[in-house]
Amino acid sequence: MVRLSLIYGGLLCAEVAAVLLRPATPDMTDAQKRTAHRPYVAASIDCLARAVLETPAALQRAREGAWMEAVRLTGRHCDPVVGRMIFAHDALYGAQTGRAFWREASAADLPKALAGRLRPAFEPSVVEAGQQAPTQIARAEPSSR
């Protein structure tokens, strides 16, 4: 009786694992997979761009064109978002494909994508406004009523 329940439990676990590890969307075309994955990539780039903007040392390295160093200086702030992108890639394209995609994309496309997102922050008017902001003092104006 115990052996039978162990065998049944083992078979059940094997079946559940097979269902969970099977690609969720085998009938999707490559274009559909790219469309489904695009929001995860955009969220990762947005998170990294915000992290660079919020980290003064990283922002300076980005201004110098050292994009990968700027990303490294942000720390592990965006790991959860990047992890979701990698997981989604694995679900769409097969196990262990997400990390390779991230390595290739970060080496080739990430600097260009970050430069596009951060370009407005590098414009002279924005830089000057950012330098003047800490010295400005807000005053309360009495209402005209």
Number of domains in the chain: 1
Instruction: Determine what percent of the chain is predicted with pLDDT higher than 70.
Output: 68
Q: In this predicted structure, what is the pLDDT of residue 143? A: 47
Q: List, in order, residues 6 or more apart from 58 with CB less than 8 Å away.
A: 51, 52, 69, 70, 71, 73, 74
Whether residue 104 is contained in a domain is answered as yes
Whether residue 23 is contained in a domain is answered as no
User: What is the C-alpha separation between 67 and 51, in angstroms, rounded?
Assistant: 12
Whether this prediction's pTM lies above 0.85 is answered by no
User: What is the C-alpha separation between 10 and 4, in angstroms, rounded?
Assistant: 10
Q: In this predicted structure, what is the pLDDT of residue 25? A: 52
Domain that residue 58 falls in: 36-120
Whether residue 86 is contained in a domain is answered as yes
| pLDDT 10s digits, 5-27 | 445 544 454 454 454 445 555 68
Place of tokens 């978002």: 81
Whether residue 17 is contained in a domain is answered as no
Identify the burial level of 98 via C-beta atoms within 10 angstroms of its C-beta, where 0-12 means exposed, 13-18 middle and 19 or more buried.
Answer: buried
| pLDDT 10s digits, 128-143 | 555 544 433 334 444 4
Q: In this predicted structure, what is the pLDDT of residue 71? A: 93
Question: Token digits for 21?
Answer: 């590890």
User: What is the C-alpha separation between 105 and 118, in angstroms, rounded?
Assistant: 18
Q: In this predicted structure, what is the pLDDT of residue 106? A: 84
User: What is the C-alpha separation between 15 and 7, in angstroms, rounded?
Assistant: 12
Whether residue 111 is contained in a domain is answered as yes
Whether residue 133 is contained in a domain is answered as no
User: Which parts of the chain have pLDDT scores under 50?
Assistant: 2, 4-6, 9-11, 13-14, 16-17, 19-21, 126-127, 132-143, 145
